[in-house]
Structure 1
Amino acid sequence: MEHTTKTTLSQTKVPSPTPFLPIKGAIFDLDGVLTDTSELHYLAWKKLANDEKISFTQKDNESLRGIPRRESLLLILKDKKASESEIEEMMERKNNYYINSISTLTKKDLLPGARDFLVNLRAIGIKIAIGSASKNARTVIEKLDITDLLDAIADGSSVKNQKPAPDLFLYAAKLIETPPSQCVVFEDAAAGIESAIAGGMWAIGIGPKSRLERAHVVFQDLAELSVKKMNESLTRVT
C-alpha cells in the first residue's frame, strides 16, 4: 500500500470535470463514511473551547465537517485574537484530546456495510484509496483493521491545499495510478463533494441529500449501497 507523510502537491491544475465509466478507482473519505468519529472530534473541540472559555455547540461542530484542523480552529476562535504559537499549541492540544479518545476504536466501529463494500470493490479489481483531511487517518485505519483492504492513503499531511480544493483526491488517484475521470469519491461533507467535482471525479454523497446537493448521487449510508447499485446510479447520471 502506498502512502506519504509529506506535502507533494502545492498547486494542482484542475482537469476537465467530466467523469466517465467504467469506474476503476474508489476514494473514500474516512470520518462519516467508513466510521463515525464526529462525536469524538466534537468532544475534543468542546474541551478546547471550554479551556479557552469559548461557546461551542453541536451545531457549530456541523460547520466543521470536512474542514482541516487549522481552519476549524480559526472558525471556533471567531474574533478571538491568537498568535501563531498559540494557534499551534491549541491545535496540538485538541489533537491530543482526540488521540486519547480514539485509542478505544476497534473494527466494530466500522459503519454498517463498510467492510462488505470494500471487499466487494476489491473483488472486481477496483483500486481503493483513503482521501481524508485528518492527519490521524492512519491511526484510525489501523484501529478499524482495514489496512489490508486499501491500496493507498492520502491524508492531511499529503498535500498543501485541502478540501474543497481537489488536490487531496487527485493525489489519491495518482497513488492508485487511476485517471481521476474514472474514480468515484465517497464523501459525507459538502466540501469533499466540491473537491471531487473540481477534480473531475464522480461524487457519491453519503448522508442527507440536504447537505450533499452537489453530489452526482446520494445514499444514506454504505449499507444500502452495492457495486451493482453504484454502477446503475452513475449510469443514469450519464
Structure 2
Amino acid sequence: MVDFQKIKGFIFDLDGVITLTSKYHSRAWRELADELGVPWTATLAERLKGISRMDSLEMILDAGGKTNGYSDADKERLAAKKNSNYLACLEQMTDADILPGITDFLEELMAHDYKISLASASKNSPKVLEKLNLAKYFANIVDPAKLSKGKPDPEIFLRAAEQLSLKPDACIGIEDASAGIQAINAAGELSIGIGDAETLREAAIHFTATKELTLAAIKRAMQSIA
C-alpha cells in the first residue's frame, strides 16, 4: 500500500490534463507539415503529444525524409513560425476550455494546502494559464527552456519537485501521454494517467477523464496499490 499521507505536492502536465491545447498544436504543426510537403497522419499527430517544440519538428522532418535538408538556423525559423501560428490560435482560449473537474480539483488541493507545480514541455504554458484564468494556482512553473532533456526523461518532474522543496516520493505527477508517465515514474514520483488505459498502462493510477480527479478517488486508488 502506498501512503497517501506522504503526498505533499501535485505536478501537472498542461495539455490533456488541464486543457486541450493539442488541437491548436496539431493545427499549427499540420500547417507547417503541409508547407514542407510532409504527409500528416494520425500516428504522427499522436507522437507529437507532450514532446518539445524542436523534438516535434525533428519528428516531422524525419517522417518526411527531410532530416538532413535543413540547417540549425532553418529549423529555428520553422519552429518559430509554428509557434507564431500556435500563439494566434491561443488567443481564442477562455476558461470554457478548462477540462471538466480541473478547477474544482485545484481548489480542493489549495484548500488542503498541497503544493502545486506545472511541468509542461510548452514554453507558452504561462500564457495558456492566463487565458484560462488559472495562473493563481501555479506559482511554480518549470521553464522548459532551462532543461537539457525532454520527456520521457525525468528532468522536468525532478525540477518541479525541487521547486516545491519536496522529495520526489512526496509528489504525484499527472499526465495524459505515455512519455509523460515514463518521465514521472523515472523521477520516482507517483504517476496518474488520464485517458486511454492501454496507452497509459505504465501509470500507477489510471482515470479515464479529468472529472474523476478528487483527493478521495486518489486515496482509494493508492490504497489498492500493492
TM range (shorter): over 0.9
| C-alpha distance after superposition, 1:199-236 (max 9, x if no partner) | 00000001110110100011012201210110110121
**Counterpart among 180, 185, 201 of residue 213 in structure 1:** 201
TM (norm. structure 2) is: 0.94
- Hey, what does 1:65 align to over in structure 2? 49
How far off its partner does 1:155 sit?
A: 3.4
**Counterpart among 162, 165, 169 of residue 153 in structure 2:** 165
1:77 paired to 2:49: no
1:195 paired to 2:180: no
The unaligned stretches of length 5 or more in structure 2 are none
- Hey, what does 1:15 align to over in structure 2? none
**Counterpart among 140, 147, 162 of residue 152 in structure 1:** 140
1:52 paired to 2:40: no
Tell me if the contact between 1:114 and 1:223 (Cα under 8 Å) persists in the aligned partners.
yes
Return the alpha-carbon distance in structure 2 between the equivalents of residues 113 and 228 of structure 1: 14
Instruction: Map 1:125-136 onto structure 2 (within 5 A).
Output: 125-136=113-124
Specify the code of the residue in structure 1 equivalent to 2:26.
Y
Instruction: Note closer, same or farther for the CA distance 1:217–1:109 as it changes in structure 2 (3 Å cut).
Output: same
Return the alpha-carbon distance in structure 1 between the equivalents of residues 89 and 53 of structure 2: 16
**Which has the larger helix fraction?**
2
Return the alpha-carbon distance in structure 1 between the equivalents of residues 45 and 81 of structure 2: 17
Equivalent position SS for 2:20: coil
Equivalent position SS for 1:210: coil
Tell me if the contact between 2:11 and 2:119 (Cα under 8 Å) persists in the aligned partners.
yes
Return the alpha-carbon distance in structure 2 between the equivalents of residues 225 and 85 of structure 1: 43
- Hey, what does 1:119 align to over in structure 2? 107
How far off its partner does 1:108 sit?
A: 1.1
4+ residue runs over 4 A deviation: none
**Counterpart among 85, 88, 93 of residue 76 in structure 2:** 88
1:141 paired to 2:129: yes
Instruction: Return the structure number with greater relative CO, CA threshold 8 A, min gap 6.
Output: 1
**RMSD (Å), alpha carbons:** 1.2
The unaligned stretches of length 5 or more in structure 1 are 1-18
TM (norm. structure 1) is: 0.89
| Percent sequence identity over aligned pairs | 38
- Hey, what does 1:40 align to over in structure 2? 24
Aligned length: 220
